[in-house]
Amino acid sequence: MAISFRQIRYFIAIADAGKITEAAANLHVSQSAVSAAIHALEEELEVRLFQRQSGGVVLTYEGHQFVRHAQNILAAVSEATRGLRRSGQTLSGDVRVGLTYTVAGYFIPQILMRFGRSFPNVNVHLRELRRVNIEEAIVQGDLDIAVILVSNLQNTEQISSKALLRSRRRLWLCADHSLLEVEPVRFKHIAEQPYVMLTVDEAEKSALRYWNATKHRPNIVFKTSSVEAVRSMVATGMGVTILSDMVYRPWSLEGQHVEVKTVADVVHSMDVGLIWKKDSEMNATTKAFHDYLSLTFADTGYGISNIEV
């Protein structure tokens, strides 16, 4: 049996939603159809792609490996379709793109590679800056467009934005942690544990935003700007943390496993998106970059779901 494009779409939808029922609703198909498609896909691949939990499903290690291939498949199909529509058209020039640290490391590389194949004569000039500096550069005209964590955007009066990916934040913990047996896990349980706080890209500010909405506070034992340091410390049992699925990897650099668990209380998503100067007309290359990313994520549906911002 061959893997179908429909199975790939359903797999991505479940990975995004974390629940088969929600994925089915987003796809406008029955839950049984989605379940059957994923069951057949797992049988064909001879691996488990999802781990079933009481609150939904999470990707297994093999599922995390496969999700990136699945995203590339959907994006490649979209590119092929758009390529036919652009037959005979050429576009050349430059586009100045700002990036924040997390976007540069965990989001943009594969997208830039595919954009380069579709627009070989467009030169993309990248600048990694802090979010506040990117906003200034956009307003002053030193950048044409930027890809940032739009959930942190401040200058909404002068800057327009478009969300591309809404990445859920979940609890990270070591493989034998006691909270794995707690259902449901809430902030009151997490507050009792040592907490490793990521600081890069305003991660601490974002974390405290949802912590401060409760009466609980994290027991911070270490702060670091390194995602890999957080991953290693969590894997060795030095503490827990709440971070987004976009930066999650199931193994630390030392080869120790990192588990994830959904938090029952409200945890805001980490939203990645585009920003550009409001009321300004985009040149052709900037519009191509804007439209390419917008269409890529609209076509795949990956990451865009009814998550509270």
Return the minimum-mean-pLDDT range out of 77-91, 94-108, 133-147, 232-246.
77-91
Burial class (CB in 10 A: 0-12, 13-18, 19+), 55: middle
Tell whether the model's pLDDT for residue 85 goes beyond 70: no
Q: What residue type is assigned to position 95 of the chain?
A: V
Q: Do 173 and 227 sit in the same domain of this protein?
A: yes
pTM passes above 0.85 = no
The single residue listed with the structure tokens 């794995």 is 180
Residues 145 and 195 grouped into a single domain: no
CATH of the domain at 126: 3.40.190.10
Residues 126, 209: one domain? no
- Are 34 and 101 contained in the same domain? no
Question: How many of the other CB atoms lie within 10 Å of CB of 99?
Answer: 20
Rounded to an integer, the average pLDDT of 120-142 is 96
305 part of a folded domain: no
Do 74 and 94 sit in the same domain of this protein?
Answer: no
Structural domain harbouring 144: 90-166+270-300
Domain finish residue from 80, 99, 120: 80
Averaged over 167-194, what is the pLDDT? 95
**Angle 245-303-160 from CA coordinates, rounded to 5°:** 110
Average pLDDT for 155-180: 93
Determine the pLDDT at residue 93. 93
The CATH number of the domain holding residue 61 is 1.10.10.10
Q: Are residues 158 and 233 in the same domain?
A: no
Is residue 220 scored above 60 in pLDDT?
yes
Sheet holding 258-261, edge to edge: 241-244, 169-174, 258-261
- What mean pLDDT value characterizes the chain? 87
Distance from CA of residue 34 to its chain's centroid?
A: 22
**221 close to 140: Cβ distance less than 8 angstroms:** no
| Length, in residues, of the chain | 309
d(C-alpha 291, C-alpha 189), whole Å:
43
Q: Are the beta carbons of 48 and 14 closer than 8 angstroms?
A: no
Q: Same structural domain for residues 154 and 280?
A: yes
